[in-house]
Amino acid sequence: MKHWTLDDIQWAQFDPSLVDPELLQIVKAASLVEFNGGDYATYLCNVFGDDPSFQGAARRWAGEEVQHGAALARWAAMADPDFDFEDSFARFKDGFRISTDEARSIRGSRTGELVARCIVETGTSSYYTALMEAAKEPVLREICRNIAADELRHYKLFYGHLRRYVESEKVGRLRRVLVALSRITESEDDELAYAYYSANGDTGIAYDRRHWANHYARRAYGLYRRHHIERAIAMVLKAAGLSPQGWLNRRLTGAVAWFMGWRVQRLVRAGF
């Protein structure tokens, strides 16, 4: 069941004077990544080939991700009438492809796949919460509030299936921690950097991953406050089979908050 549709958004409340051009750039990038959700459903349906209940859930999930992309794209086009979503999305699809013909999870097991999905939903739910709190434009705030609620529900969906597979596949905690860590480090891989480039870059210039990942990270990391990080760490720990609260969460929250602040400062100094 969809909790909202594009028609529920109060588009008439849009106030162009409250659009932050920096946030607009990352919204454009996010619209491309979200709109690409259908390919992930294809991949997940292959990996969970004999699990029709999960396949049905994955297809509904992907429909919601695509709707996130459509809502963000519509907002971005209101904020910048020159933004050509179709053109940007075509460019993104051209340069970034998800392998949809794998029969087994690239994470080594279905449990690993579900841990990775939980990490992604942790990232998106904290990201849209942080974006909503940073935004002043009321329509963007409404969209981000809706999306953040969906992303938290997605986390719970994948976590529910994860618990089922942890029982049947008996994948150990260390393995789950390693999958979580590898998925977190992948957030600096091509997907977000290429989406940012496809939506904002001068396409006359060749794509350079590090360069565009820096552009993206400067704007995205700058949104995070300590409470977003603490909550995200709790969700990651839970997905990895560890205690969500307590000393480990405090240590990690401190370390991640320091790292993000340091990274943003360095990128600002470097002119990103």
Q: Which residues of 59-84 are buried (b: 16+ CB within 10 A; e: fewer)?
A: eebbebbbbbbbbbbbbbebbbeebe
Determine contact, residues 6/41, Cβ cutoff 8 Å.
no
**Among residues 63 and 95, whose Cβ is nearest to Fe ion?**
63
- For the bound state, the minimum distance from the C-beta of residue 119 to Fe ion, rounded and expressed in Å, comes to 11
**Among residues 68 and 161, whose Cβ is nearest to Fe ion?**
68
- Cβ-closest position to Fe ion: 154
> What one-letter code names the amino acid at 134?
A
- For the bound state, the minimum distance from the C-beta of residue 33 to Fe ion, rounded and expressed in Å, comes to 8
- For the bound state, the minimum distance from the C-beta of residue 154 to Fe ion, rounded and expressed in Å, comes to 4
- For the bound state, the minimum distance from the C-beta of residue 2 to Fe ion, rounded and expressed in Å, comes to 13
**Among residues 122 and 198, whose Cβ is nearest to Fe ion?**
122
**Among residues 88 and 214, whose Cβ is nearest to Fe ion?**
88
Residue with token string 């596949």: 169
Binding site for Fe ion (CB under 5 A): 34, 65, 68, 121, 151, 154
Determine contact, residues 207/96, Cβ cutoff 8 Å.
no
Who's near 101: CB < 8 A, 6+ residues apart? 46
> What one-letter code names the amino acid at 260?
M
Can you tell me the distance from the alpha carbon of 209 to that of 46, in angstroms, rounded to the nearest whole number? Answer: 29
**Among residues 36 and 111, whose Cβ is nearest to Fe ion?**
36
- For the bound state, the minimum distance from the C-beta of residue 210 to Fe ion, rounded and expressed in Å, comes to 26
